[in-house]
Structure 1
């Protein structure tokens, strides 16, 4: 009976990933040379999921909007999503700014900027320069080539093209329904591939943690303990207070929601990337009672524009570098920093390390804090990345719930039942939702769940 009990829990993905993370930390600590050689395991899993993202995002957005049968409704959902993203991510930036000024984790380090070798962060600064300003950011949303955007996995251009294509299909009406159905079936095939890929998720988490601890060592956690503690504490406060209140306003429990997506949360912790769980999140949110059109539009867009964890990290990291170098920033300087971050924090798209590039772009545009100060974060960035990826994932899940509740399209009875159970209900309606057979327009759903 005990073996059956143990086997039941060992078969769960989140348990396997958690064990893999612990074993990876131990191996990286006691056998650092071997640990650093295991990086390809983590990279392989991320690469495996990334090869599926472009077609999944494209098909999810196109099928979702095309089945709304109303372009105005799609525009309304998108507008509400962007409005929510801006308000919450701005709040995250402000919270990060307040906490880092209160605790001052970089104070006392007394780093001389003249002694820093900036060559180690040259790759990040070059990428930051390529991003350019706000105008360049907007221009880069439009791809030079649709094929090139899919080949390179550029999320923003893919989302932009998907939106245009979906609107065109929605306006075409019933004549294109067979094509939309075909795209829907293609999407299910892709989700099947994702389920196969998730078998190696524990291996990816093991390799990622073994490499991180093996290369940078547990000692890095101690020397930068105050910064790490500040970021993790701030992220926890943001999740519990801000997102908790938001979910409560929606009539749902945040903690039950986090329990529902625990597999995805542990995979995110192990891989430090939310991209690894985007396909599963699409399915789980739909099974929660949110219509496919809303999930397909809001979640992928949130990955690009709603990085709450990255927002917290960027403000804290920028001020940390200034404090470490004894650079005095006035209130006006910090408000300018906040304004710049409103632009540079967008478009990170869940990629591990993208926040580091965004930080380089922020410092380069301000000319107040030396970009070379990024060197101070190199050894600890991976540990920080796990906190921001975790927060990003929870934030985007909550954002999808909020927009669906705002639109009055979420089935609250189903959502409460699923969250109470901790997993999708064995119900035909859920089976239909998972298989994509529901083609009910959002407007009809609004009347049903109003």
Structure 2
């Protein structure tokens, strides 16, 4: 069990919070000064993560967009699948904004808990930026200086530029396109390697940061961390229900048959927390229980696993919206529009990244788009193991639902007029 990085990071967080809170209550100024010095090691670890965000996001966006374009070029079924994936991810992002507004209206982030988390973070609360006007938002979509946008952590214009760049690369001759994609793919792999190295020190970094949180916030932050886990988990669970119902209504499959099909895959998702590991079970259940032919299963399900994380933008955006509540930031409509676009783009681009790498690479850009500090994210990574279970269950449920919906559409299209009239 201790071999799991998530478990070690969670233990480090609990230990850091407890020792920091104990020092705040009982230790003298000398011990507190030592803890502040130790916390700087955590700040170094956090900055090491932050330095990879811009090059990693740009690289995976360029290669990811080119990959989607290549998949779309393989045929009508692939195009249909990709279009439905983009629509579903957009729905997932918008749904999360609406769900978060309702959830926090019923169960708001407490002022004391938010203050405790803010006190524990190394960034000051006033780092949150003012919401731009609609005019400033539209003007800012195209960065006049891409290098400056990257250095300023202006993620939205950077994502817009990377998207245009990625589509432009697909129009180049094969040799030139291959060279550029190989270059950015190498950059992405190098950044992932760096992040892997940094995450090896995650227990140490989170422990050091946890000491500081415990020292300044005591145990007051613990309740809000539990609030965060409940918020993200319930978002994922509710989206799983949406995917479940979509299969029943749009895919027109009976409740009993759908339950028998999806339940074993959901159990595998709970155990493995990996959509890829569930792919063989998804193909088998779709073929044997739903009667979907291999020509559909063999294209739709692998494409869904590669590109479609239905709960991805929801969970990622949910984290950013929680951080916004902690800092008392209320995004404008323009900011919501921009962050939905970034959520969909980063979800499509970063699905091939390992879980803890994708957590920071997917959520930090959303926080930066909303003008929020990212200093709380390392604390939230430590408890990601719980929401990640429901995230994976939602993803495999949505993959199977997408497969069923596409197959239903294929059958309706392929049915001869006489047969259609007879069925009617």
| TM-score range relative to shorter protein | 0.5 to 0.7
Counterpart residue number, 1:167: 167
Tell me the residue number matched to 1:14: 6
CA distance in 1, matches of 2:100, 2:163: 33
For the aligned residue pairs, the C-alpha RMSD in angstroms reads 5.1
Corresponding residue of 2:380: 386
Quick one: distance in 2 between partners of 1:352 and 1:179?
A: 24
Structure 1, residues 277-336: CA drift from partner, whole Å, max 9, x if none?
xxxxxxxxxxxx8559954xx78xx76996034446757997xx9xxxxxxxxxxxxxx9
Q: 1:143 to 1:393 in 2, by over 3 A?
A: farther
Structure 2 residue 207 is matched with structure 1 residue 206: yes
Please state how far the C-alpha of 1:60 moved relative to its aligned partner: 1.8
Q: Deviations over 1:227-273 (max 9, x none)?
A: 776554343322223236537978585675465459xxxxxxxxxxx
Name which of 308, 311, 314 aligns with 2:318: 308
5 Å matches for 1:59-208?
Answer: 59-68=59-68, 70=70, 80=84, 83-102=87-106, 122-124=126-128, 127-128=129-130, 131-176=131-176, 177-208=178-209
67 and 75 in structure 1: CA distance in 2 versus 1, 3 angstrom threshold:
same
Q: Match for 1:246 among 243, 250, 259? A: 243
- Aligned partner of 1:113 in structure 2 is none
**Distance 1:121-1:357 versus aligned 2 partners, 3 A rule:** farther
Separation of aligned partners in 2, 1:78 and 1:133: 33
Tell me the distance in 1 between the aligned counterparts of 2:267 and 2:152.
Answer: 36
Q: Whole-Å Cα distance in 2 between the matches of residues 247 and 155 of structure 1?
A: 34
CA deviations 1:405-449 (Å, max 9, x no partner) are 7886xxxxxxxxxxxxxxxxxxxxxxxxxxxxxxxxxxxxxxxxx
Please report how far the alpha carbon of residue 350 of structure 1 lies from its aligned counterpart in structure 2 after TM superposition. Answer: 2.0
**Cα distance, 1:91 vs structure 2:** 3.1
Cα distance in 1 for residues equivalent to 2:370 and 2:213: 19
**Which residue number in structure 1 is paired with residue 20 of structure 2?**
28
8 A Cα contact 1:310 1:388, kept in partner: no
Paired with 2:143 and 2:235, the residues of 1 have a C-alpha distance of: 34
Which ranges of structure 1 fall in alignment gaps of 5 or more residues?
Answer: 1-8, 108-119, 263-288, 322-335, 361-380, 409-450
Offset at residue 133 of structure 1 (A): 2.2
Checking the alignment, whether the CA contact within 8 Å between 2:339 and 2:369 is kept in structure 1 is no
Residue 291 and residue 357 in structure 1: after superposition, are their counterparts in 2 closer, same or farther (change >3 A)? closer
Task: Check conservation: 1:235, 1:387, Cα contact below 8 A.
Answer: no
Q: Distance in 2 between matches of 1:48 and 1:189?
A: 14
TM-score (structure 1 length as normaliser): 0.53
- Structure-2 change in CA distance of 1:293 and 1:337 (3 Å): closer
Aligned length: 316
- Name the TM-score, length of structure 2 as normaliser: 0.56
In structure 2, the residue corresponding to 1:143 is in which secondary structure? coil
Within 1, Cα distance between the matches of 2:379 and 2:220? 17
User: Contact (CA 8 Å) 2:13, 2:379: kept in 1 or not?
Assistant: no
Q: Kindly indicate whether the alpha-carbon contact (under 8 Å) linking 1:35 and 1:210 is maintained by their aligned counterparts in 2.
A: yes
What is aligned with 1:45? 45
Structure 2: which 5+ runs fail to align?
Answer: 25-31, 112-123, 248-261, 275-300, 344-361, 404-424
Query: What's the offset of the Cα at 1:215?
Result: 0.8
Shift of 1:352: 9.7
For 1:165, what is the secondary structure of its paired residue?
helix
> Partners of 1:352 and 1:185 in 2: how far apart?
21
Output the CA distance in 1 between the equivalents of 2:331 and 2:51: 35
Using the TM superposition, give the Cα deviation of residue 28 of structure 1 relative to its aligned residue in structure 2, in angstroms.
1.0
Asked whether the 8 Å contact 1:68–1:293 carries over to 2, the reply is no
Deviation at 1:216, TM superposition (A): 0.9
